[in-house]
C-alpha cells in the first residue's frame, strides 16, 4: 500500500471520528435525561435498615482502660484512694470504699486480652520497621525517596519504642496487682 492510500484511509477515519464526537455538554444533558427516566435499581440500604452483626465483638467494659495512659492514671488514682487517711478517725487509714463504689478486680480474661493487644501491636510495628529498614538499604542515599523513607523509618522506630514502653508499663502494672506471669504470655 502506498503512502497516498494510507493518508486517504487516515483522513476518512478522522472524519468519521469527528462526526461521532460529542461535546461534554451534550453528553451531560443526555446523561441527565437518562437518569431522570431510569428508576433507581435495587434496594437502598441505610444504617437503620441493617440488622446488627451477631458475630461482632463485644465492646470492652466502660471501666476498662483504653490506652496505657488511662491504665497509669487509674493505677495512680487507685493507689491514692487506698492511701487516703480518714480525717474523722484517729489517723488510721480509711476503710475500703462501699460495695457500690468498689471497683471489681480484673480477671484473667482482661489481662490476657490486654497482653495480646499490646503484643499484636508490637509484632506489627516490628515487621513494619524491619520492612522499612530493608527498603532503606536498597535506596541510593542521595535520593529524595531515601530522605522521605528515612523520616518514615525514624517515626516508625519511635512508635516501636513507645509500644515497647507500653508493654513494660503493662508488665509493671500487672506485677503491682500480683497478676500471674502466665496471664501475660
DSSP codes, the chain: --HHHHHHHHHHHHHHHHHH---HHHHHHHHHHHHHHSPPPSPPP-TTTSPPPTTSPPPPPTTS-SSHHHHHHHHHHHHHHHT-B-TTTTSPBPPPPPTTTPPPPP-HHHHHHHHHHHHHHHHHHHHHHHHHHHHHHHS-TTSHHHHHHHHHHHHHHHHHHHHHHHHHHHHHHHHHTT--GGGG-
| Residue-level pLDDT at 162 | 92
pLDDT confidence of residue 101: 46
- pLDDT band, very low/low/confident/very high, at 86 (cuts 50, 70, 90): very low
Average pLDDT over residues 48-60: 70
Q: What is the mean pLDDT of the chain?
A: 74
pLDDT of residue 35: 76
The pTM of this model reads 0.43
Is 163 in contact with 125 (CB distance < 8 Å)?
Answer: yes
Least confident of 60-69, 71-80, 93-102, 142-151: 93-102
- Give the model's confidence band at 148: pLDDT under 50 very low, under 70 low, under 90 confident, else very high: confident
- In which band, very low, low, confident or very high, does the pLDDT at 161 lie, cut at 50, 70 and 90? very high
Amino acid at each position: 500500500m502506498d503512502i497516498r492510500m494510507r493518508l486517504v484511509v487516515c483522513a476518512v477515519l478522522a472524519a468519521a471520528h469527528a462526526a461521532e464526537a460529542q461535546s461534554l455538554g451534550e453528553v451531560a444533558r443526555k446523561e441527565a435525561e437518562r437518569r431522570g427516566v431510569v428508576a433507581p435499581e435495587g434496594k437502598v440500604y441505610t444504617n437503620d435498615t441493617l440488622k446488627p452483626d451477631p458475630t461482632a465483638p463485644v465492646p470492652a467494659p466502660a471501666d476498662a482502660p483504653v490506652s496505657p495512659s488511662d491504665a497509669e492514671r487509674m493505677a495512680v488514682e487507685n493507689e491514692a484512694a487506698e492511701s487516703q487517711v480518714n480525717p474523722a478517725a484517729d489517723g488510721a487509714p480509711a476503710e475500703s470504699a462501699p460495695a457500690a463504689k468498689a471497683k471489681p478486680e480484673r480477671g484473667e480474661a482482661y489481662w490476657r486480652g490486654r497482653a495480646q493487644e499490646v503484643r499484636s501491636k508490637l509484632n506489627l510495628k516490628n515487621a513494619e520497621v524491619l520492612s522499612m529498614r530493608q527498603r532503606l538499604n536498597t535506596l541510593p542515599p542521595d535520593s529524595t525517596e531515601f530522605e522521605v523513607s528515612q523520616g518514615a523509618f525514624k517515626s516508625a522506630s519511635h512508635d516501636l519504642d513507645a509500644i515497647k514502653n507500653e508493654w513494660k508499663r503493662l508488665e509493671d502494672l500487672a506485677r503491682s496487682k500480683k497478676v500471674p506471669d502466665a496471664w501475660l504470655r
